[in-house]
Amino acid sequence: MPNMSPPAKPCHLPRSLAAYGSPAFADILKAELGELDSQCLPLQQGLRNGSTSLDHKLSFMLLTQQQNSDHILVKLGMFYSSIIAGCSCADDPTPQDEVNEYGEIHVRIARDTAEARISLADT
């Protein structure tokens, strides 16, 4: 895998680990990622359009997967939203509309513990 950005906090993906190698793996991985605490995902670090990431409406697209003796290594596209936050003053002309965000992430799942390290992919 290419060089990875600093990881978010470690999380666990036990259902994804158990499903690896089965036809259901991609769907289970995407569902389990969507259920994680947003602190596990590099949402704020991946912003390109907004200033504050939002942790609802997350979706994922599996791009690549590989394995070695210790880890399952997966690259996914991550779709989410952000806002351009103003000062929230009554006369602030900055709209609070959501904007679309996209980033690619690497997910490294330990085969022995299901601990997952999730970080932005270098693009």
What residues does each domain of the chain span?
11-85+97-120
User: What are the C-alpha distances in Å from 39 to residues 22, 28, 50?
Assistant: 28, 20, 18
Q: What is the pLDDT of residues 70-91, one digit of tens each?
A: 999 999 999 998 888 765 666 6
| pTM, two decimal places | 0.81
Tokens of 36: 């994680």
- The answer on pLDDT for 4 being more than 50 is no
Q: What is the pLDDT of residues 5-40, one digit of tens each?
A: 444 567 999 999 999 999 999 999 999 999 998 889
- C-alpha 14/C-alpha 70 separation (Å) is 15
Short-list 80, 81, 78, 82, CA closest to 52: 82
How far is C-alpha 15 from the chain's CA centre?
Answer: 17
> Do the strands 52-67 and 11-12 form a parallel or antiparallel pair, or are they unpaired?
unpaired
Q: How many residues does the chain have?
A: 123
Short-list 27, 23, 5, CA closest to 107: 5
